[in-house]
Structure 1
Amino acid sequence: MKKTFFSFLIFIVISANALGAEKHRSEHINDYSIFDVKHFGALGDGIANDAPAIQRAIDTASYYGGGTIWLPIGNYRLVVPLVPKSNIMIKGAGLGAVLMATTPVKGAIGQPSGDLYNFSVEDITIKGGVIDEGVFPRRARTYTPSFTSAIFMQGDRMADSLPHIQNITVKNCNFLNVRGLPVFFQGVSDKVLVTGNYFENCLDPGFIWCESVQFIANIVKKGADNGVSVSRGCVKAVIANNIFEDVAYWGVWCSGFMGTAGPQSFSITGNVMKRCGYGGVALVNGPQNGTVTGNTIDTVFNGPTDQRSKTHGRGVWITPLTVGGEVAQEASQIVISGNLFRHIARGGISLSGAADILISGNSFINVGATDTTVSSVNYNTGVYTDDYSVPGGGLKRIGLVSNSFVDTRNISFSNFAYAPAIRTSTESYQKNNTMLGFRQPLGERLAVGGNTDADQSLTINARPGALRELLFQTAGVRRWDLRVTNTAESGSQTGSDFSIIRRNDNGSVAGYPLIFSRADGSVRLVEATGKLGFFNQAPISKHAAIPNTTGASVATLEQEVNNLKALLRSYGLLNL
């Protein structure tokens, strides 16, 4: 009897627990599949270890096919990373829902235990242990024990032994003071979208071996590395409408690394990069098929405050992939258009090992503050090359069209709009570029028309009474002018005569060898010391006057005719 009664009590307890658990589960399933972590035992007091409770919520939601893990306002301390599951969204109360750690933890959300699909994180804050402030941009940091990363995971695009990871979203989250990469996605298939987030005092949000990266409308401040790194093995990338401010290295690193090429299809559009240490956009190790458009790159230093070097300070940097010192893949088919480059310490765009690069419609303002040498071609220059072995030899089909180069400073530092090696590189071209205040001439290569084009023309137009000139220089000093004079036009074809002007070594006028009259077509040899020769005859000075032969004898006339024939021969007008 006692045994039967005891068995009955056990049955009652088990049944009650089962009913309670089922009621607990059904509450969350019926409430639009929202699983409140506090219902699973999380305290959010910053003291208790809330990782087991939050993981229970994730596992329960996964058991029922997915759902939203809700983090109310609180500080949720973790001692191990949370393990993500498919079809799960971890969502919180924004700045008030904080994942934190007070001991070393690899990350807040870590590697999945199996294949992972359709996982997202929204509206939470992950706070690390970096504690220093100070002058930025800066590389060095001090920190207390906490997360190394915030979100990290590795998929099978890196290695077959890893789980398949596909379709990851991180949206409207805050990443504060994380010692390492706040998000580090590796080998993710299909889409990884990071949008609307705020990153401060972390390393760079990073992506490698991902199929399609979208980094959109984020704010990154005081980064200890790049603003964002879309690096080796990534295939497609969109980096758009972000703000990168006071980052130690590059605003955008869209490049290869460690012997692997950069992304092969990319768009970097509408970003603002301000006060970067190394530069604005890095396209190194042979990225291809991309655009850099509509970005503002405002103020680039010669490195972060704790790593200054005059070699740093570029707006955009483009290089090939090299293996064993040889070019394995050029950076190619890239359009850089409609960007603002302002106060860039070294120079605007640096190229090497590149082909089919179109640089158009950009504005370069006050580029260069590094080297005061006027003749320097790879410092203080709008577009230049770092190919020192054969300057420009690694460049092909570099187009510069409709760019503006301006130095507004009281003392100009800008040298060349584009370096001579850029201008003379293989099949490269320049058209409709303008320059003001630079210390070296524009030097634009001009070509009008093509092999099969119809009639072409080159026009130099001005108001009445103005000079119209075509100037020829050596090292920036004038040598010859072709000029339409500024003599006022008063009717009857008067004025606007054509002249040729020669100049001294210092560029001053040496003389006017020829003037052509528009009124009557006459040609004047103007200079008293001028010489004249025809048909490759050595030029000679004006001959003395021939005496008057009126009433002269036949012998005298014959002699004067012979003198005249000799004179014509000396000018090259008669055969010997």
Structure 2
Amino acid sequence: MNVRDHGAVGDGATDDSGAIQDAIDAASDAGGGTVYLPPGNYACSSSLTPRSNVTLSGDAGSALHHTAVSAIIYGSAVAFTDFAVEGLTFLGPVDESPATPKRGRTASGPGAQTAVFLTGDLDTTGSGQARLTNFTMRDCAVRNMTALPIRIGGVRGKVSVTGCEFTNNQDAGFLFCEEVIFQGNHVRQSADNGVSLSRGNGKISCVGNTFENCAFNGIWVAGFLTDKGPANFTVTGNVVRDVGHNGIYVDYASKYGAITGNEIDCGLFRGPSDRPSDVNGAGIYLGGFPITDRGNPTDRAEGITVVGNHIRRAARAGVYLNGVRHVQVTGNQISDVGTAHLADGTTVIESGDLTQNIGILMENPVTSADVTVALNSVVDTRATPYTNQGLVPQSASAVNAHLNTVTGTRQAGNPLETGPTRTWQAAHHFNGDIRLNAHVIGGGTAVTVAAGAQSASAAAGSNGAKDNAGVINTTAAAAPAAGTIARVTYATAYGAIPKVVLTARNAAAAAVGLYVTSESVAGFSVATAMVPGAGAALSFAYHVMG
């Protein structure tokens, strides 16, 4: 169905909104179909209302604009299912195109705020909305809107936005939808985030998009104000470049997601030019709820994997964590983090600063739990490095860090091994030492051996007594009883209590029933189940199974 057959002109001046709406209504009333807009500039003085089973379609050169401050397509009061737009260009009045991240923009008179504004019955920000189900937008361009280029709220079924261009608007926004697919789109010069996948959404897929020159965050997967973030999300294979705040922002206790295989180059910006910030500046940012009291979250970001991302030129941190649990940060390449000065351009960031210029930064570590940081690489390749450390903190109980590498940072901190125990099935080789379960077993130093209450003496045997194994020779007391005959204290504490195996080396030791007691990360005791003979020479070997 051609809108020209319903009286549309497309000369940029004639009000075509009535003719286009007539075509939409006629197509829907006939059971559905495609409403075609031939190349031209179609002016609308009123918003178009979506109808069921209609695709509003155009070709290169098919454009719409609004003559007032409003949305070109607005859906709320009339229920629909399966409404789509494809191949159309939507134009707004913004006339400023900043070359670097900036929030404020100028506009030339009234015009469209938003290309497509939908608010269905799942959208709790309003009331009385109709049931809107299944919306598709593909191969469209939205340019120069004064607000969000699209704002899709409370839509049931599937919302799919693919292959579109969003230039010089605010953020493409989604909230309270059952399923959102945002794939293969290109977002440039946003005055806000690149895309906001916000509160109340169910399943979210943000895949294969490009975001460039965004004032705030490239990808927002978070809540807003008093609403927590969404759950069940995938953010994969996106390219993010030159953002004022964070490359990927997952906050307000968003849960159960994967952030994988993204290419993030933050451009070392500390906020947009008109709103500088030292709080943000992360390649990937994970946080709990509420954001107003980071030290006391009531809920945490949970069940999130951050795997295989390449993060460059983040101003504050490659990965930032605060108020999280059950999070894995694994196999990421983080390079050239940090700047010489804070956002004011004059305050020098010192090399000992543990809140700025960090590869992987966990603030308020007591608010986080069960965080694995493994197999990441942090490197500063610049002639003058500004990355202070690879991992901060390195001793928090919440962090299980291992097998990370750090090169070229201002501080030589070593985050290879921190936090609680790992379970490894084989020995691993690091820098000339062999380590098992975060513990040195090759070239280990001697333990301390002390006599127990039922022993007259105890000392390291000729084979030595080390953290991993050794031989102990002791002599029973003159009037012994069954009980502790020796105490072994490790030179270096284990990350968790290891298993110790005893082997008697002579008949006297075999006869008394040796067993291990009082095991801890710091050592163990050896006791006898039966009374040894007075002055009996007892010899046994031990092996620590880390």
Band of TM-score, shorter chain: 0.7 to 0.9
2:130 to 134, 144, 163: 163
Counterpart residue identity of residue 382, structure 1: G
**Residue 322 of structure 1: how far off its partner (Å):** 2.2
Which residue of the partner structure matches residue 97 of structure 1?
Answer: 62
Name the residue aligned to 1:183.
150
In the TM superposition, residue 113 of structure 1 has moved relative to its aligned partner by 3.5
Any stretches of 5+ residues in structure 2 without a counterpart?
Answer: 342-347, 447-461, 465-485, 488-546
Q: Which residue of 1 aligns with 2:299?
A: 329
TM-score after normalising by structure 1: 0.71
Equivalence map 1:393-404=2 (5 Å): 393-404=366-377
In 1, Cα distance between equivalents of 2:222 and 2:445 = 55
Aligned to 2:170: 203
Would the alpha carbon gap of residues 448 and 207 (structure 1) be closer, same or farther in structure 2, given more than 3 Å must change? closer
Partner of 1:376: 353
1:306 aligns with 2:274: yes
More strand by share: 2
The AA in structure 1 aligned to 2:185 is N
Q: Which residue of 2 aligns with 1:222?
A: 189
Pairing 1:409-558 to 2, within 5 Å after superposition: 409-420=382-393, 423-440=394-411, 441-445=413-417, 450=423, 457-459=427-429
Q: Over the residues paired in the alignment, what is the CA RMSD in angstroms? A: 2.6
Q: 1:89 to 1:279 in 2, by over 3 A?
A: same
Structure 2 residue 366 is matched with structure 1 residue 366: no
Q: Describe the superposition over 1:66-125 as per-residue Cα deviations: whole angstroms up to 9, x where unpaired.
A: 11000001010000110110000000013x000013x32311111244211000000000
Alpha-carbon distance in 1 for matches of 2:431, 2:329: 28
SS at match of 2:304: strand
Name the CA distance, whole Å, in 1 between partners of 2:178 and 2:445.
Answer: 64
What is the CA deviation profile of residues 468-520 of structure 1, one whole-angstrom value per residue up to 9, with x for unaligned ones? 699xxxxxxxxxx9997xxxxxxxxxxxxx999xxxxxxxxxxxxxxxxxxx9
Structure with larger Rg: 1
Shift of 1:254: 0.4
Q: Give the drift of 1:350.
A: 1.2
2 CA distance for matches of 1:81 and 1:254? 29
Unaligned runs of 5+ in 1: 1-34, 463-467, 471-480, 485-497, 501-519, 523-534, 537-576
**Alignment partner of 1:154 is 2:124:** no
* Deviations 1:394-425 (CA, angstroms, capped at 9, x unpaired): 011111111011111111111111102xx333
* Pairing partner for 1:124 from 88, 94, 98: 88
**Residues 164-213 of structure 1: CA distance to partner in whole angstroms, max 9, x if unpaired?**
01110000001011111010011111110010000100010001111111
Offset of 1:459 from its aligned partner?
A: 3.9
Q: Deviations over 1:410-466 (max 9, x none)?
A: 11111111102xx3333421121111111221233267764xx87x5454576xxxx
**Separation in 2, partners of 1:238, 1:482:** 46
In structure 2, distance between residues paired with 1:376 and 1:236: 39
CA distance in 1, matches of 2:76, 2:253: 32
Q: 2:323 aligns with which of 353, 358, 363?
A: 353
When residues 393 and 39 of structure 1 are mapped into structure 2, their CA distance, relative to the original with a 3 A threshold, is same
Change (3 A) 1:458 1:76: closer
Quick one: structure 1 residues 70 and 247, their matched pair in 2 at CA, closer, same or farther if it must change by over 3 Å? same
Q: Do the aligned partners of residues 88 and 482 (structure 1) sit closer, same or farther apart at CA in structure 2, a change above 3 Å counting?
A: closer
CA distance in 1: counterparts of 2:83 and 2:264, whole angstroms: 34
4+ runs deviating over 3 angstroms: 323-326, 446-450, 456-462, 481-484
Q: CA deviation at 1:132?
A: 1.2
State whether residues 395 and 426 of structure 1, in contact with CA within 8 Å, keep that contact through their aligned partners in structure 2. Answer: no
Equivalent-residue separation in structure 2 for 1:385 and 1:397 (angstroms): 12
Contact 2:403 2:417 in 1 (8 A): no
Name whichever structure is richer in helix by fraction. 1
Identity, % of aligned positions:
33
* Residue of structure 1 aligned with 2:33, choices 64, 67, 83: 67
Correspondence for 1:557 = none
> AA paired with 2:272?
P
Report whether the alignment pairs 1:135 with 2:102.
Answer: no
SS in structure 2 at match of 1:413:
coil
What is the TM-score when the length of structure 2 is the normalising length?
A: 0.75
Q: CA deviation at 1:59?
A: 1.0
2:18 is aligned, of 46, 52, 58, to 52
